[in-house]
Structure 1
């Protein structure tokens, strides 16, 4: 059962982790090296655990190469926001840092984190230190560990949201790495209160080599699946009785990434394995993480995610091993129902008497444009919000939350003043869309994502209007590569970049996020995409039932067929 017995077969990253002194490596030496804007090769891997990736502007690389210059390296810093809730003061901090050190924009990710882009090497330490001063951090935002823990922030769920949020925070804290390297490098402290001395450092959950690959946990509160609970290694579905949180159903083995041309890789939705009461949550999550730690593939990183471990050793084995480690068995899953994996927009009054306003943020990019001043407006709102907060959604939008009745008119005035209210009047297609960063910043991207999807959606919406269904919500997801950061395989219409200007088209996922889509056509340009979708939308408009969603219709009409999901995502 143990693939990792022969150390000579382990991936290079495994050796880097083992020699890293619990993620310290030679990062400090790399930061001091002024001959390059990059880090040493091994530190490019280790810095991911600290929440950062090396990037370059690919549109400048050719020009710089002609000038015999290295790429203009910079760094993305991802900031954890467990459960997606940030204070107004933390929003202001992130806004300040974007202006001071990086691109003057904030990126809201599909996993409820902030991203700063364009941070130069000599500014890395100050940026991360100031993030920590705001009581946020970037540790474990990337790397082979449990990453940012997500939670539903839909305002309609406020009756039990706080109880679920407390547990999400507890899971996040429990699974955060215990290494002091993060604090030594970025906060200039040998250790912080409660941390062990260097000689005593250990990782009681992760061990010296941490996990085989990244690990993702999310919470969802029915009927909203806005966090795409089935797309994660562990998905926890809240069960409510009489307005009280009772416990969670557990889904395991979800994951979106794959590799073109490699049929051993595939996206996967999680399997429901049982239910447990709320007080058992942290322990169950820990035990599932340790099962992946012990049985995950450390030889081939393409096959290292928990989904592949489950399919290799068997779901029954994983459940039996979980029961053994817990000392008890999970109960049968409790009934629940999801209706959508989208957000609800506009003002809603919570059960606590405070107001919540969900705003559409195109591509999750908070920036000022000639059309309207989104970044400046949200900054102005943060400065008057007091005890209110900003809630990052898994669909790259933001909720201005916990707004006092007395402040609400001021917030509305600022939304008008900065042009934000006017630009909330977008189509339902735009509201149900997600795009990853892709070109020009992501080194893995084959095609555009965030910069292109809005214009394509406008053209798809024109087709819907032509057939009289312009207000029909359809989930549309686009990524620049098959790694799945924007969860494209859960879009009723999914686009995955094959080459500049060309995308594989996937159809048929469920509107509520419970079913994957299927590859329909390969390597289409825009004209071919629109030409392919037009007759399908025409058929849908004329033959759908009153409440039938596009993905369900495509499946019912056998335009696509769900067969073996491992074969449904690859080139023919």
Structure 2
């Protein structure tokens, strides 16, 4: 039943499939090239290096024409459930200073990233992480990525403990089994690690339904691994701290009246990566698939992975994620194929409560007499900068109190197992280093915002994200103050490209890099990340943020229902109504056009500040073709447009969310410059 090669198709497999086939289970050409005295790896090695947890990058800030790129490497750790033991944190803190950029970055999948590592230091960094209770294996590449779980260390809520346990176990089940990792980075020496759960080991080797290969070093992944990355999480009913709808696979813990584990509800098919101007790529939220008993959960996970492994698209990497397979097949066909690998029928999905977002910031009781503290980290960047010394403060606390850490899916950090007697001392350390630990003192826009690293190191970045979002949030806050919404907040997320690493497509207001200094704007996601946003504007230049967002905020203030959130408002009203209001609002504050039709199929646009605003109900509408100065004068300037030009202009105006006046003025100015 199981295929030992990419699925038979008339289309040629992608280049990466051949690279994986030649790699000898992720060994080559990395094993050879790591020994070479060079600053970077070959293209083939770069693809295999990802499986080991590293991306080759180029610091674009340091590019000099005619010189070699500023090659450096990002290392990403794998931390199921976000768990970071104190020994590992202190090691990473030291490595960041010794080999990296002096910062650590919490990822949106509960791991750490270190940037700025040179090739000559890469092996030493890998080895130090592995020897200090860490791993990077499978943090990148066409395999299961870091398995997420809620970061809250509630000791009196068994469902949270089950989520942690099974996040660990699923991560172990789906970890690549190749010996390449230790051969390359530890010269074949196996790291000392905890004994693997016997149930997990047995489940990985169990076959009979075609889920594994008996003749491969990788029993589950085979020669070709997965068609693309695979993302999984485990959560509890009602807790959406992990953005469950954005995952390839989500398990939701189901307990009985005695709080004993019975099984899991299963979602599948979420994913956010897409490509601009490629309509065949899209963000998608996961579907409910089934319920599975706890005794069968590992078999079901293998069945879902095997279905994607064997039927996912290996010819087009843009179409290779599980979400496209489920979209193309439909849930029923996908469920049927999973049943073949599972070996029996799937049980019906159980009813779940509404999911809510939680960030677990501030001081909380664990339920066992100890405390945990959630610390907000702007965009996940742990650094020392001026009077703000978060990196130093965390190192001092972890060294002194030997505290474990849970990284959160929102790029924050939880210190836990804190003795109550140490609370004041920990607060003093944080305060003395300029670290705010009271969530109520953090601007709510900042608290719920996320951004990806983007420029200068990410090779996919089109524009800024992490470096841009602090200033943009300040401008949004000022705009909310101006429009009479001083206490309002909503989920803002930003990425430098459409891959969606900071999950902007689930935000109430999402910015997605589309051109230098410009973003696609998404609106209407849920504050609890249970609904996809939709694209509102194709390209918004950084300079136009206030102009374009102000009318939306004014409309929100005027038409919102009691306690309605911004995302819910945008979803309820719809974009046609928002765009109509925005067009009228801008025409009232800049120029109000008067429109006539000369009867010969030509539309005349005249600027006059005394005319009424245009509405969508007009038979034939147009905007004033004039700048602000002209529009506020008594003069009128006629410009005729052919019907086809008018229709095209209107279409672009609606798609980009820009007033037609602005579009025409921009086009004419560009044309006149070239005369």
The normalised TM-score by structure 1 is 0.92
In the alignment, is residue 228 of structure 1 matched against residue 269 of structure 2? no
SS in 2 for 1:406: helix
The question of whether the paired residues in 2 share the 8 Å contact of 1:180 and 1:191 is answered with no
- TM-superposed deviation, 1:467: 4.0
1:554-565 matches, within 5 Å, as: 554-559=570-575
SS in 1 for 2:262: strand
Question: Residue 13 of structure 2 is aligned with which of 7, 10, 15?
Answer: 10
Q: 1:343 to 1:293 in 2, by over 3 A?
A: same
List runs of 5+ in structure 2 lacking aligned partners: 202-213, 578-654, 658-675
SS in 1 for 2:387: coil
Question: What per-residue deviation string (whole Å, max 9, x for no partner) do you get for residues 243-280 of structure 1?
Answer: 44433211111001111111111111010112223333
**Residue matched to 1:213:** 228
1:305-316 matches, within 5 Å, as: 305-316=321-332
In the alignment, is residue 57 of structure 1 matched against residue 55 of structure 2? no
Counterpart-to-counterpart distance in 2, 1:345 and 1:450: 21
**Residue matched to 2:177:** 178
Counterpart-to-counterpart distance in 1, 2:153 and 2:555: 35
**Residue matched to 1:102:** 100
Question: What per-residue deviation string (whole Å, max 9, x for no partner) do you get for residues 95-151 of structure 1?
Answer: 011011111000100000100101100111110000001111101000000010000
SS in 1 for 2:557: helix
In the alignment, is residue 363 of structure 1 matched against residue 371 of structure 2? no
In the alignment, is residue 418 of structure 1 matched against residue 444 of structure 2? no
In the alignment, is residue 514 of structure 1 matched against residue 514 of structure 2? no
**Residue matched to 1:303:** 319
- TM-superposed deviation, 1:228: 0.4
Counterpart-to-counterpart distance in 1, 2:576 and 2:234: 30
SS in 2 for 1:535: helix
Question: What per-residue deviation string (whole Å, max 9, x for no partner) do you get for residues 50-95 of structure 1?
Answer: 000000111212x1x33xx210111101000111011122211110
**Residue matched to 2:128:** 130
Counterpart-to-counterpart distance in 2, 1:422 and 1:399: 11
Q: 1:244 to 1:294 in 2, by over 3 A?
A: same
- TM-superposed deviation, 1:504: 0.7
The question of whether the paired residues in 2 share the 8 Å contact of 1:445 and 1:481 is answered with yes
**Residue matched to 1:139:** 137
Q: 1:473 to 1:284 in 2, by over 3 A?
A: farther
Question: Residue 419 of structure 2 is aligned with which of 404, 415, 418?
Answer: 404
Question: Residue 340 of structure 2 is aligned with which of 292, 309, 324?
Answer: 324
- Choose between structure 1 and 2 for higher RCO, CA contacts under 8 A separated by at least 6 residues: 1
- TM-superposed deviation, 1:544: 2.2
Count the aligned residue pairs.
557
Counterpart-to-counterpart distance in 2, 1:359 and 1:403: 14
CA RMSD, 1 decimal: 2.5
**Residue matched to 1:565:** none
Q: 1:455 to 1:441 in 2, by over 3 A?
A: same
Counterpart-to-counterpart distance in 1, 2:565 and 2:235: 21
In the alignment, is residue 265 of structure 1 matched against residue 264 of structure 2? no
SS in 1 for 2:575: coil
Question: Residue 465 of structure 1 is aligned with which of 481, 485, 489?
Answer: 481
**Residue matched to 1:541:** 557
**Residue matched to 1:163:** 162
Question: What per-residue deviation string (whole Å, max 9, x for no partner) do you get for residues 484-537 of structure 1?
Answer: 111110010000011121111110011111111111112112342222222222
**Residue matched to 1:566:** none
* Larger CA Rg, structure 1 vs 2: 2
Question: Residue 253 of structure 2 is aligned with which of 238, 259, 263?
Answer: 238
Counterpart-to-counterpart distance in 1, 2:513 and 2:545: 12
List runs of 5+ in structure 1 lacking aligned partners: 562-569
The normalised TM-score by structure 2 is 0.79
Moved more, 265-274 or 25-34: 25-34
